[in-house]
Structure 1
């Protein structure tokens, strides 16, 4: 099946070295004179064109008790905002759409998931007095999704939440304290909560098109440095700010208190990037990150290569 993965990518992916001139015809409304990209060869096409992966906006929701499709171990991104009902965004849908533009408790949010980096982050969409709407550019940088906003056509790096090309170059999105957990965990804590309903697209929801990806020795479309300390490139790490904890540490010690944060690990969440069916993936566990007062903190559970690519001087919390 891994061979099929590479065959799929070989058919759809174009690894043409990029330059501002190369992309201008496709992006006539993007201001390429403003950019923090120093090496344009890092920008690659992942295969689908602009909006070829359709981001969602204003999705519909079901009550937890009315949802019948999602299996207990499947991962969801949980968004809990004061004054609003909890919402779960299933990875079975984000796998095929990567971005959901929504509003929770009056806060406009972008719930994002980059399968190639296992990066799931929720951002506040308010920037400089306007609310942005995000789409999928079809571009990758260090194997991470490049988003764009429809209002200014600026490009945004998903892993760091920063505009890297265009009018808003250098602008930082605010990450919200959301997390990924199993559907069973979400249901148990929020029996009256909401879950995003299945979108009305013809997609194989529940299937993982990147079968075997998180067991590979090298990431797709990545030519950067590999992680130090002998850490496998596709090992999961918990990133909090510019620090990263290998998830393997949490399996051995399910709660860690270090650097002013508390990290906890609970078994029961399936990897979305293992077997062909997400629900059958190996158990990678669910992680919560809080401060000393128990308040949830923004964080990401991403692959080690992506952390090293975007935080080359970051601190590895190895022991």
Structure 2
């Protein structure tokens, strides 16, 4: 998918002398203010292969009842959003191909996002400075993480940190809302009256993983930064809460960890979306839930270790030693 396209693009950039310069992007992004940016090294931003909107974000998706859904395997991952009202599940089988869903939940405009290359699944409030934004997929990557853009100003946003990095909204931060990845069986059993996003009307092989074997790779795709410390594999999953990260392996061994003001629990039964050709057949990586001392869900991310180290180089590794 991305790999074949990228090999040719990288060669073209180097040959053309446009490497590391925003000038290369201006023809595709004439409405983006490249003079305003927090990016210090433009070499970090690469094309992921598809052009702007080549991966189409979804807007105002349809939902169906739990008992109307028959396509999703029991262990397939979904992103769960429980904000007042009726709980909603956003299946990764769809987000793998679309990466962003612009929705409104209980009156709140939200962006449900998934970056396959970082395994990062985050939900944001789309309101910034009183303005409701809608997001699309730029086709760009930075530290192998998706760069989103807002359609209103065509500013660029870093998905992993929810922050504007190029254009009008440089430095602005999106509010991260509590959501989490779990298996379809977990969601549907706990929420029999919940809703699940219906299959989008695009010609995609939903349920197939186009990144087959990725989370067993030794090196991330299009990443040239430092590898994680402490002997942690680059594509090992970690649970990030704020600027701290807990290795998934530690949680799988312990079942539950209580420290730094949070309670993190692990439960078997969720398939990796980045393992086998069919997501439903992926190996069991387990599900994470993060709550505070009062039992309230806490915003967090389950991402690859290399991405955590790239965006939080001074972050605290919670190794439990």
Tell whether the structures are fold-level matches, with TM greater than 0.5. Answer: yes
Structure 1 unaligned blocks of 5 or more: none
Structure 2 counterpart of 1:256? 257
Structure 1 counterpart of 2:76? 74
Contact 1:12–1:48 (Cα < 8 Å) also in 2: no
Which TM-score applies when normalising by structure 2? 0.96
**2:3 aligned with 1:9, yes or no?**
yes
Structure 2 counterpart of 1:278? 279
Which TM-score applies when normalising by structure 1? 0.97
Aligned Cα RMSD in Å? 0.9
Q: Deviations over 1:130-170 (max 9, x none)?
A: 10000000000000000000001000000000000000100
Structure 2 unaligned blocks of 5 or more: 14-18
Q: Deviations over 1:63-107 (max 9, x none)?
A: 00100100100000000102x110000000000000000000000
CA distance in structure 2 between the partners assigned to 1:139 and 1:109 by the alignment: 22
Q: Deviations over 1:178-233 (max 9, x none)?
A: 00000000001000100000000000100000000000000000000000000000
**2:205 aligned with 1:207, yes or no?**
no
Within 5 A, what are the aligned runs for 1:91-102? 91-102=92-103
* Residue 225 to residue 12, structure 1, CA distance change in 2 (3 Å): closer
**2:241 aligned with 1:240, yes or no?**
yes
Structure 1 counterpart of 2:16? none
Runs of 4+ in 1 over 3 A off after TM superposition: none
Deviation at 1:12, TM superposition (A): 4.7
CA distance in structure 2 between the partners assigned to 1:51 and 1:29 by the alignment: 15
Q: Number of paired residues?
A: 312
Deviation at 1:19, TM superposition (A): 1.3
Contact 2:135–2:149 (Cα < 8 Å) also in 1: yes
Structure 2 counterpart of 1:27? 29
Contact 2:6–2:47 (Cα < 8 Å) also in 1: no
CA distance in structure 1 between the partners assigned to 2:284 and 2:4 by the alignment: 29
Secondary structure at 2:139 match in 1: strand
Within 5 A, what are the aligned runs for 1:115-194? 115-194=116-195
Deviation at 1:20, TM superposition (A): 1.5
Contact 2:55–2:97 (Cα < 8 Å) also in 1: yes
CA distance in structure 2 between the partners assigned to 1:47 and 1:228 by the alignment: 30
CA distance in structure 2 between the partners assigned to 1:10 and 1:49 by the alignment: 14
Contact 2:65–2:195 (Cα < 8 Å) also in 1: yes
CA distance in structure 1 between the partners assigned to 2:205 and 2:20 by the alignment: 31
